[in-house]
Amino acid sequence: MARLSPTQRIRKWWRANPDIHYSVTAYTSILFAGAMGWGLLFLMLGGATDPATSSLVPFSWACLIIGGVGCFFLLPEFFAYLSLRDTFEEICALDSRTEVIRRRKEAEDAAEALGAGYRSRLLDVYRNLEIKPNRRWSERPKNSAQSISWWSNPRSKISVILPRLNALKKLETHRALISLTFFLLTIIVFESLFGGFDASSRSLNDMLIGNPVQTHPPPHIDSVSAVIVLALSMLLWMTTPANSIEEDVD
């Protein structure tokens, strides 16, 4: 039985979790678009020629290049999902049973692509209009063995993607990672929204550049803080329970 490489594990995990494709594509597209926007604005507003912001030039170029490449590949997929969602919402808003039956294939294809929440909504529409769902649209039984709380399940997404880091499989490490990530995320968000003990927000940009740290009236969030918040949010999501991933190669 051959072991999977990290890339194969990620691909298998992605294929095994179709319900998150839409949300992951949406959030990642927004992240890439934000990074590209930051890079463009920084360079267009003269940040590359300002000695005070010279340390941010490599970061801004990286945001522009990585964000641009990400947008090139992900935005078409994201807009395709938006089109499916618009179609789904349009069909669910119909009051005519005949019209819903006529367009049921469009609705079911859209719900399959968008995830479990949209499938449940469509089943509710079917029940309200007394439409019998197809066999593949029957309610899927819930596996009670998988109903383990996030806090008590060390088999997280990150532990599956990085199987050689045995420390991630320990419950103490799992809980420590959740606690530390949540604590840091809370501190940064609270500082940005409400300020610190003196009711003022500070810029991490100034700290990285080496300039005197300036205080700002909240709410205020600088670009570096925003990137850290996104990174911590993704890490926190990676600590959630993972679905089963096969160890063999098909």
- Residue 201 belongs to what H/E stretch? strand 201-202
| Burial bucket for residue 5 (CB in 10 Å: 0-12, 13-18, 19+) | exposed
Q: State how far the Cα of 218 lies from the Cα of 214, in Å rounded to an integer.
A: 12
The predicted pLDDT at position 198 comes to 59
Average pLDDT, stretch 89-96?
90
Per the DSSP assignment, residues forming a β-bridge with 201 are 216
The predicted pLDDT at position 142 comes to 44
Judge whether residue 131 has pLDDT over 80: yes
| Peptide bond connecting 219 to the previous residue in cis, omega within 30 degrees of 0 | yes
Number of Cβ within 10 Å of residue 156's Cβ equals 22
Average pLDDT, stretch 21-34?
86
Percentage of the chain with pLDDT > 90? 9
Number of Cβ within 10 Å of residue 239's Cβ equals 22
The predicted pLDDT at position 83 comes to 92
Q: State how far the Cα of 59 lies from the Cα of 45, in Å rounded to an integer.
A: 15
8 A C-beta contact, residue 192 and residue 219: yes
At 153-194, the pLDDT tens digits run: 777 888 888 777 888 888 788 888 888 888 888 888 887 777
- Which of 7-21, 46-60, 206-220 is least confident? 206-220
DSSP state of 241: B
Beta-carbon contacts of 68 under 8 Å, excluding residues fewer than 6 positions away, are 36, 39
8 A C-beta contact, residue 151 and residue 179: no
Judge whether residue 132 has pLDDT over 70: yes
Judge whether residue 245 has pLDDT over 60: no
- Residue 216 belongs to what H/E stretch? strand 215-216
Helices then strands, counting H and E runs in the chain, come out as 10, 2
Judge whether residue 48 has pLDDT over 90: no
DSSP state of 156: B
Going from the C-alpha of 119 to that of each of 35, 56, 67, 115, the distances in angstroms are: 33, 45, 32, 7
Mean pLDDT rounded to a whole number for the chain = 79
Give the pLDDT band (50/70/90) at residue 244: very low
